[in-house]
A and B are shown apart, each in its own frame.
Chain A
């Protein structure tokens, strides 16, 4: 009987299954298992994995740590025109391997980072207010940034150049203005 009528055989669960279906189920299942195994595999052998390191903290504590880094490692200030406003943002060049802090807030990334290619850094991300999205272009690395959760990732910039950080989590009326630069310079 058709699919809009009760099954023809009362005991339908004892009817034989077509070999075509069995074959497909087996093939599809093997592929599903393979895709599942690919994720743990990449944790062991792949180079792009998110850290499991995160801490609950407050905006005040996080700002204090960021400010300390800026005070210690500021190399210059840069001025940018965003719409009508003129912004002055410090550029920070922390030593390789150190803890690097980035604040996300309405509607700005602060401060600006200058990193060396080939070095690793412990990058901290946190929002001061609403959700934001850390989207590094043109690498296209995208990470959710929460208020109250300090997320730490170890990054290793590859090629020198000027990168952009775009906010890609909707954060209100000026969301589309929230962008910044990230400089990667060659190792001295």
Chain B
């Protein structure tokens, strides 16, 4: 079987694009967007039900739709997109051919089949067990089967990615070490491998239990192992979207990492310390000791938190250095004011960075503190937190980079540029409202995954304070705004990909690479040329440092506010 060695050179970036890699990136990205559409419709229904004044769905439909929303967004949309990111970060950034494209197609169809089977199980109506599917509550066997098939497909795709790194090295398509973005993608893929392995450890026995071959699944064992899978899969997202941040800084500004050593070291900390973090889901569970909880939740002295704080500094820091070199040197923030706020690739990425840090990051550490978890566990504060990390953080970063992928990979112009320009703002602001008001309502004790917090017709029910209902209403409004932002994204993306104006390059052709070698790199067009080596200025990014200090102060204040609140509740021991 002949190996496809056909490449084209991207006129916009100078990247060498392998034909098979391009087709696979397109397929995975399109599948991702289809699941985003489905998950988005379900999101609207969830938001309109929890907004008590609207209270749209009956309870059975609400729990069904909430289950489907969690799976389609957290699993199918995000992981399909991540596979596209992995292929891009390996084959395209290294300028080498994708290893084993047929296997990659097999992985794609396996994932697609898994996604469809799992959705089938959910929409049957007998698998409304939520994203977490805590045993001993059982779902239809096809629910677990779909997830297992999807996971196997994703695992194969990870190995295609690793294989591509080997091909690039063996065929000498680049010099020295892999680019930082590829390094970040390697981090994501390594975390993905042990995440999927953990998923197999818990989902395969649960599947066997659902068909009657295993007779008991212990609830604490399930939660412990499931979260080693469920939380780690969110760490794949973190590694992937941080890589996307670095990529966007490079693409939009030609920014050079402040120092390779620090950024790569921070990625390494993710691999070493993220897995332990899953213990913070078990802080309010019986049967686990405080020593175990403290060691594991502090992520072994919070080294993974440290890593995110480092990326949060170095990404905007590198942008600041690049901007200052272009002459935006006035005051602390001219570099930021004069940034291309009308370019959705940048605006989306920067909002992702701020939302992930200020909202998602701080709230995550608070929740993951052993004692503070008591006043937060299973309240709607929790989805507030993860909508800030996974939606503002990951999804918004992926949306932003899509506006680069459409011209670079799909070779189409972005349709409706005005809508595209506003989209990250609408989505980002809606989602920020949703996350903030969820956290507010959670502080007042509103439970997550609950159909009716008014307890209508229930004499035993609790009457939540009016503020809680107000916050849930504002959350609903934020959710609707975010869905509008999501619809704008889908409109632009679907129209651009299928009906957008083709980008025609004179003399376009795919070039066959010589045996064992990718084509010779073409010099970069002047516009996208990276900046020369910096470091001349000792304190190159004062504005970013000021922002980091604002972040630290907010973090410290909010941390102590929560301890103060904890100190007022009933003594427990």
A131: Cβ under 8 A from any B Cβ: yes
Q: A49-B573, A141-B570 are in contact. Are A164 and B462 (CB under 8 A)?
A: yes
* Assembled-state Cα–Cα distance A79/B229 (Å): 44
**Interface bits B237-263 vs A (CB < 8 Å: 1, else 0):** 000000000110111001111111111
User: Do residues A16 and B535 form an inter-chain contact, with CB atoms below 8 A?
Assistant: yes
Contact of B455 (CB < 8 Å), options: A3, A15, A179: A179
* Assembled-state Cα–Cα distance A64/B567 (Å): 35
User: Do residues B378 and A13 form an inter-chain contact, with CB atoms below 8 A?
Assistant: no
User: Do residues B130 and A142 form an inter-chain contact, with CB atoms below 8 A?
Assistant: no
- Across the interface, name the chain B residue whose C-beta is closest to A159: B570
Q: A21-B262, A142-B374, A149-B220 are in contact. Are A7 and B180 (CB under 8 A)?
A: yes
Contact of A168 (CB < 8 Å), options: B246, B443, B447, B538: B447
* Assembled-state Cα–Cα distance A73/B531 (Å): 79
A158: Cβ under 8 A from any B Cβ: yes
5 further interface pairs, Cβ-Cβ under 8 Å (given A130-B134, A140-B569): A50-B370, A143-B374, A154-B573, A174-B59, A179-B461
Which 9 pairs, one residue from A and one from B, show the smallest C-beta to C-beta distance? A151-B286, A164-B462, A168-B447, A32-B302, A2-B250, A54-B286, A142-B377, A2-B530, A47-B571
User: Do residues B306 and A21 form an inter-chain contact, with CB atoms below 8 A?
Assistant: no
User: Do residues A21 and B259 form an inter-chain contact, with CB atoms below 8 A?
Assistant: yes
User: Do residues A172 and B137 form an inter-chain contact, with CB atoms below 8 A?
Assistant: yes
Number of residues on chain B facing chain A (CB within 8 A): 111
A155: Cβ under 8 A from any B Cβ: yes
Contact of A142 (CB < 8 Å), options: B137, B376, B461: B376
For residue B294, which residues in chain A have a CB less than 8 angstroms away from its CB? 36, 39-40
B305: Cβ under 8 A from any A Cβ: yes
Most B Cβ at <10 Å: residue of A7, A15, A143: A7
Most B Cβ at <10 Å: residue of A9, A39, A151, A179: A39
- Across the interface, name the chain A residue whose C-beta is closest to B93: A4
For residue A80, which residues in chain B have a CB less than 8 angstroms away from its CB? 459-460
For residue A90, which residues in chain B have a CB less than 8 angstroms away from its CB? none
* Chain A proximity of B59: nearest CB distance (Å): 6
* Assembled-state Cα–Cα distance A13/B257 (Å): 13
Q: A24-B313, A141-B374 are in contact. Are A164 and B461 (CB under 8 A)?
A: yes
Q: A146-B287, A175-B449 are in contact. Are A140 and B444 (CB under 8 A)?
A: yes
User: Do residues B378 and A155 form an inter-chain contact, with CB atoms below 8 A?
Assistant: no
For residue B223, which residues in chain A have a CB less than 8 angstroms away from its CB? 131, 144
For residue B569, which residues in chain A have a CB less than 8 angstroms away from its CB? 48, 139-141
* Chain B proximity of A125: nearest CB distance (Å): 8
User: Do residues B255 and A3 form an inter-chain contact, with CB atoms below 8 A?
Assistant: yes
B→A interface (CB under 8 Å): 59-60, 63, 93, 128, 130, 134, 136-137, 174-181, 218-220, 223, 246-247, 249-251, 254-263, 282-287, 289-290, 294, 297-298, 301-303, 305-306, 309-310, 313-314, 317-318, 365, 369-371, 374-379, 443-445, 447-453, 455, 457-462, 464-465, 530-531, 533, 535, 538-542, 544-545, 548, 552, 555-556, 559, 563, 566-567, 569-573
Number of residues on chain A facing chain B (CB within 8 A): 93
If over half of A's interface residues share one DSSP class (helix, strand or loop), that class is named, otherwise mixed; here it is mixed
If over half of B's interface residues share one DSSP class (helix, strand or loop), that class is named, otherwise mixed; here it is loop
* Chain B proximity of A21: nearest CB distance (Å): 5
* Chain A proximity of B49: nearest CB distance (Å): 11
For residue B247, which residues in chain A have a CB less than 8 angstroms away from its CB? 3-4
Q: A15-B261, A144-B377 are in contact. Are A28 and B459 (CB under 8 A)?
A: no
* Assembled-state Cα–Cα distance A156/B283 (Å): 20
Within 8 A of B (CB), among A124-165: 125, 129-131, 133, 135-144, 146-151, 153-158, 164
Contact of B261 (CB < 8 Å), options: A3, A12, A46, A170: A12
* Assembled-state Cα–Cα distance A136/B375 (Å): 10
A63: Cβ under 8 A from any B Cβ: no
* Chain A proximity of B311: nearest CB distance (Å): 11
A61: Cβ under 8 A from any B Cβ: no
* Chain A proximity of B60: nearest CB distance (Å): 6
For residue A180, which residues in chain B have a CB less than 8 angstroms away from its CB? 460
User: Do residues A38 and B369 form an inter-chain contact, with CB atoms below 8 A?
Assistant: yes
Contact of A1 (CB < 8 Å), options: B256, B286, B313: B256
For residue B566, which residues in chain A have a CB less than 8 angstroms away from its CB? 46, 48
